[in-house]
Structure 1
Amino acid sequence: MSSMTFGRYTFRETFIHRLDARNKIFLMIIFMVGIFFQFNLWSTALLLSGFYVILLIVFMTIARINFLSLFKSLGGMWIFILLLMAIYIFIPNNNYYLPTAFTIGNVDVKWDAICQSAYIVMRLVLMLALTMILTSTTKPMDMTYAFEWYMRPLKPIHFPVNEISMTLSIALRFIPTLLDETDRIMKAQASRGIDFNHGGVFKRFGAIIALIIPLFVSALERSEELANAMIVRGYDPKAKRSKYRLLKFSYRDIFAFLLIVGLFGLIIYLSVIDTKLNPLDLVEIIFKVKGF
């Protein structure tokens, strides 16, 4: 747990760290929408997927994010990923047109199913990588100010913008504390003989229960302490507040905005011409030439 960096801000002097938090959140949403665009032709989907992966590698390299931390963050998702792949591979689909890759019993596993499951998994990994880039390069308070700025148009309809932004700020600040508390409880339980890494399903489930219950109690205690401290200091959620640091756009934000928006425009263009092309795409041609 001590090596887990997902959700924890890491100070660096990089191009991505210096971007405005409002711009980073907007561009991350645009990028995620582009990732989940659906294409009819596998050649278009594979081409863009490779471009996404290269672009994410470049972003993580610029932000100096450890690639191992991304794979460690996937540890709890492997069961879900395997289940998702099994659903796509073994459930029949009449829309598949590529030949059979192999047969398990009476089930024919199509190349379409393998490509589709791998494509879905790649989307999830890219989405997680984008979230890691955002949380690792943006201070919690800057992220809170950005969300508050986006919710500002809702103030005339008496939407509780200040209360929600404060709740979000506390939640973001609590993530590193929760990770440290989890590490402390795991070490304490391990010293009492509880093994989190070995054993069967029921033994591991019992070990997880021994971790979750103390962690839940500790989180409630810390929440109560924070609430009492805010009450003692006279916190008023409806009071008007000023900000010590103001978020400002710079030339870096303009460059990043034009880059991602241009990419999104290219994705929209490809999705439009994708529906007008011949359904016999490059992937099907390769399979026919190779004789799969």
Structure 2
Amino acid sequence: MTNVFGKYTHYNTVIHKLDPRIKIIGLIIFMVSCFLPYGNFMNTFLILGVMALLIIILMLISKSSFLDFLKSLKFMWFMALFLLIINVFIPYNSINSLHVMIKFSNGYTLYWEGLMNTLMVLIRLIMMMALTLIFTATTTPMDITYGFEFYLYPLKFIHFPVEVIAMTMSLALRFVPTLLLEANRIMNAQKSRGVDYERGFISKKIKSIITLIIPLLISCFSISDDLSLAMNARGYDPYAKRTRYRKLFFTKKDLFAVFFIIIFLSFFILISVLSKAYGINLLEFLFYNIPKGSTF
């Protein structure tokens, strides 16, 4: 069976067995760590490389599909172009030393810093997508709901509808693979009618996309209506007091995961603080400032 980005796939792996509350906090910490400032471009790329290696290891452990993840990246070309325009074609007035990439005859200059910023943002977005894939592929929608309810529970004291918000977030996450499947079905149907989404000028591609968006919106409303009718038919009441079919308990695996997350967060916060406060270059620190006589 073909995997879909964001769809839960059942495997008997360690990550699948982890408590969803641990996975939610781990997901947030990983994403925050991706966007921490690390001083300069070289430090940032080195840290992002370490994070990418950890993400690849997590994908291998969770048996997440690399092929489906790579397929999902083809939709990022528009984001890459937009970021390139924002970072490369807008002058940098706040940076003292810039490295010229291209200088035009009208006096406008493109800088390498803009290209590097674009690359860093794209890498971070790709890593966030990979982390989201691991989370949604290893956690059932109900477990996601339980996890969000746990973290939102203190808001109950101010009469905040925690169960409603948790269920809404769970349904939103569950709709991602559903919409991808529906979009793929509509695209195949339109291709059979002669619509080409890949070739032609931008204006032609925009017209082709319109033939996808309108049926997709209609399909979304139809799916949402069917879902609401099904939930009403089963007597779903978001404000009713409910019990849990499966209780959540912390195990030794969860404690080990918490320990790993704390070590991970502490390490990258330390690197970020040292890089910003003391201007440490990680490459020089690791490879050049080695005492004589020490083994490497």
Quickly name the TM-score band, shorter chain normalised: 0.7 to 0.9
Counterpart residue identity of residue 212, structure 1? I
Aligned to 2:7: 8
Q: Are the equivalent residues in 1 in contact too, given 2:37–2:276 (CA < 8 A)?
A: no
Query: In the aligned structure 1, how far is the partner of 2:14 from the partner of 2:104?
Result: 50
* TM-superposition CA deviations, 1:85-136 (whole Å, max 9, x none): 2332333324153643454554444443333322222111111111111111
Aligned to 1:287: none
Deviation at 1:206, TM superposition (A): 2.5
Q: Are the equivalent residues in 2 in contact too, given 1:97–1:112 (CA < 8 A)?
A: no
Report how many aligned residue pairs link the two structures: 283
Query: In the aligned structure 2, how far is the partner of 1:108 from the partner of 1:50?
Result: 30
Counterpart residue identity of residue 202, structure 1? S
Deviation at 1:278, TM superposition (A): 4.9
Aligned to 1:263: 264
In structure 2, relative to structure 1, the CA distance for the partners of 1:188 and 1:107 (3 Å cut) is same
Deviation at 1:156, TM superposition (A): 1.7
Query: In the aligned structure 1, how far is the partner of 2:235 from the partner of 2:4?
Result: 34
Deviation at 1:242, TM superposition (A): 0.9
Aligned to 1:62: 61
Q: TM-score, normalised by structure 2?
A: 0.84
Does 2:189 align with 1:188? Answer: yes
Aligned to 1:236: 237
Comparing 74-83 and 189-198, the one that deviates more: 189-198
Counterpart residue identity of residue 257, structure 1? V
Comparing 86-95 and 265-274, the one that deviates more: 86-95
Comparing 220-229 and 139-148, the one that deviates more: 220-229
In structure 2, relative to structure 1, the CA distance for the partners of 1:281 and 1:51 (3 Å cut) is closer
SS state at 1:217 partner:
helix
Does 2:114 align with 1:113? Answer: yes
Q: How does 1:15-34 map to 2 (within 5 A)?
A: 15-34=14-33
In structure 2, relative to structure 1, the CA distance for the partners of 1:183 and 1:246 (3 Å cut) is same
Q: How does 1:99-248 map to 2 (within 5 A)?
A: 99-103=99-103, 105=105, 106-248=107-249
Query: In the aligned structure 1, how far is the partner of 2:179 from the partner of 2:115?
Result: 38
Counterpart residue identity of residue 273, structure 1? L
SS state at 2:278 partner:
coil
Deviation at 1:279, TM superposition (A): 7.5
Q: Are the equivalent residues in 2 in contact too, given 1:96–1:113 (CA < 8 A)?
A: no
In structure 2, relative to structure 1, the CA distance for the partners of 1:278 and 1:205 (3 Å cut) is closer
Q: Are the equivalent residues in 2 in contact too, given 1:41–1:279 (CA < 8 A)?
A: no
Q: Are the equivalent residues in 2 in contact too, given 1:63–1:133 (CA < 8 A)?
A: yes
Q: Are the equivalent residues in 1 in contact too, given 2:3–2:65 (CA < 8 A)?
A: no
Query: In the aligned structure 1, how far is the partner of 2:91 from the partner of 2:63?
Result: 43
Comparing 262-271 and 29-38, the one that deviates more: 262-271
Gaps in structure 1 of 5+ consecutive residues: 284-292
In structure 2, relative to structure 1, the CA distance for the partners of 1:205 and 1:90 (3 Å cut) is closer
Aligned to 1:290: none
Comparing 231-240 and 136-145, the one that deviates more: 231-240
Query: In the aligned structure 1, how far is the partner of 2:56 from the partner of 2:270?
Result: 24
Aligned to 1:286: none
Query: In the aligned structure 1, how far is the partner of 2:99 from the partner of 2:227?
Result: 60
Aligned residues: CA RMSD: 2.6
Q: TM-score, normalised by structure 1?
A: 0.85
Aligned to 1:81: 80
Query: In the aligned structure 1, how far is the partner of 2:271 from the partner of 2:160?
Result: 39
Query: In the aligned structure 2, how far is the partner of 1:3 from the partner of 1:89?
Result: 38
Query: In the aligned structure 2, how far is the partner of 1:54 from the partner of 1:73?
Result: 19
Deviation at 1:30, TM superposition (A): 0.8
In structure 2, relative to structure 1, the CA distance for the partners of 1:100 and 1:225 (3 Å cut) is closer
SS state at 2:36 partner:
coil
Aligned to 1:35: 34
In structure 2, relative to structure 1, the CA distance for the partners of 1:258 and 1:96 (3 Å cut) is farther
Identity %: 43
Query: In the aligned structure 1, how far is the partner of 2:268 from the partner of 2:280?
Result: 18
Comparing 228-237 and 261-270, the one that deviates more: 228-237
Query: In the aligned structure 2, how far is the partner of 1:31 from the partner of 1:161?
Result: 25
Comparing 8-17 and 98-107, the one that deviates more: 98-107
Query: In the aligned structure 2, how far is the partner of 1:118 from the partner of 1:223?
Result: 37
SS state at 1:247 partner:
coil
